[in-house]
Each structure stands twice: as C-alpha cells, then as structure tokens.
Amino acid sequence: MQATLDHVIRQPATWLLATLAVYRLALAIQRRARFTPLLHPVAVSTAILVAALSILGVDYDTYFSGARMIHFLLGPATVALAIPLFHQMKIIRRHWVRFCTGALLGSGVSIALGLSEELGGLASLTSALVMLTGVAGALMTQAVLGRLRLSDPCTHGFTLGVVAHGIGAARAMQISPRDGAFAGLGMGLAGLLTAVCLPLAFRLAGY
C-alpha cells in the first residue's frame, strides 16, 4: 500500500490534477468569503499545496513536472489580456502620458525574478516574495483607493496591475472586464519599463 502511494505521489499527472482541484477549492473559499483579497485563490491554493508537499515529503521538482503545463499557459493567458484592452483604445490614446508615468513610478519599486537570479539571489525566495507582494498589493490598493473614493475602472484596474502584477490583474478581472483590461495594461507597461530602464540605471550607476 505504501509503495502504491509513493508511486502515485511521484507521478506528474497527480500534481497537475491536484493543482487544478486545489485552485477550484480556493475559488470556492473566496466566493464564500465574498471575494475578500485576503483569501485570494493564488495565496490559498499555494498554502494548501505547500502544506501537502511538506507532509508527503515531495520536492518541488517532482511537483513542477506536473504543473509545468499550467506554467506554460501563463504566457498565453497574459497575452489574452490584450483582448479586453483592445476595446479601451480610445481611453488609452487620450491618457497615454498618464499611463506611462504611472507605470514608470510603479516599476521603480518592482523586482524581476530573472534579475534576482542574475545577482545571485534565491529564485524560490523571490517567487514567494513576489506572490506576497501581489496579495498585499491587491489588498492595500483596494483599501487605499476606497479611502480616496477612487472607483473609476481605469484608475482602479491600472493601479492593481502596476502594484500587484498578475495577482492584481486576476483580482481586477473578478471586478469587471474593464478593470481587468487596465490592470493588464498596467502590468505590461510596468514590466516593459522595468526591463528597459533598470539595465540603463545599473549602467549609469557603474554596475
């Protein structure tokens, strides 16, 4: 029996199905909690999966061999954000300077996973901190904008995308397609400006 269990938990398909099932559970939990950012499905599902991996003694490489397909689909999912964004082109053309300025300010405090690895940092720790900043950013952004009484989908969505990246964009899509469209714009612009401006800043600083 133990040998059978060990065989099952080492199979890639096991962790692919487990990831999908746990995420569905996390969605149900957040729905019951009235979509509070504190119980974001990404954070909840990650906590459950980490606990399961620790209890069963499964290493990350074994888990990722099954979850690799989901990781691959992150690229197409990000590109798909361009579809709702296309319908907001009139607003983007009118306020493109504001969008670029906001993204530049937001990207100034962001850190890329690839940069962390290049500088000798721990990729796993960086990934955890990126997720943490995403959840915290989604929570704090909504609270701050609520205090300022800023409920416009353009401002709300864009801020979520810049501050809380993918997790913020997912949260924005839960609010409305328009929020999600501008969250995708904010996330994309912040990433682009970080990739372009950060190497220039390092070069000017003599690194």
Closest CA to 110 of 166, 184, 148: 166
DSSP 8-state class, residue 121: -
Q: State pTM to two decimals.
A: 0.66
Question: What is the CA angle 125-61-72, rounded to 5?
Answer: 85
Task: Give the pLDDT of the chain (207 residues) as one tens digit per residue.
Answer: 677 777 778 888 899 999 999 999 999 998 898 877 678 788 888 889 989 999 988 888 888 888 888 878 877 877 777 787 788 888 888 888 888 887 777 666 555 654 555 555 555 666 666 777 777 777 777 778 778 877 777 888 888 888 877 778 877 887 888 888 888 888 888 877 777 776 776 676 666
